Homo-oligomer: A and B are copies of this chain.
Amino acid sequence: MTEDNVVYIGIKPVMNYVLAVVTQFNNGASEVVIKARGKAISRAVDVVEVSRNRFIEEAKVKDIKIGTEKIATDRGESNVSIIEIVMTK
């Protein structure tokens, strides 16, 4: 799996990221990793659910990992939660 198969979730609408996931699978990827941190974690779950319920019904969730990352902010280091969801078809 290359980094090409990773979709990073930000603040755009859910459907933008769903399109990215669907495109990866349609281009032949057997596995797509959805990554998000902080408040975007909820959106990451939405992206996975919409992708598999409406677009790629044979897709499965293979693995879900959560963790904590340190990020630099104006006021020093801060912890942020992260999620990685691996989808396969």
Residues on A close to B: CB < 8 A? 38-42, 45-46, 48-49, 53, 61, 64-68, 79, 81, 83, 85
Complex CA–CA separation, A66 to B85 (angstroms)? 10
A48 touches which of B38, B53, B61, B66 (Cβ 8 Å) = B66
Residues of B with C-beta under 8 A to A39? 39, 42
The residue on B at minimum CB distance from A40 is B42
Structural contact, A53 and B41, CB atoms closer than 8 A: no
Structural contact, B42 and A67, CB atoms closer than 8 A: no
Residues of B with C-beta under 8 A to A45? 41, 66, 81, 83
The residue on B at minimum CB distance from A38 is B42
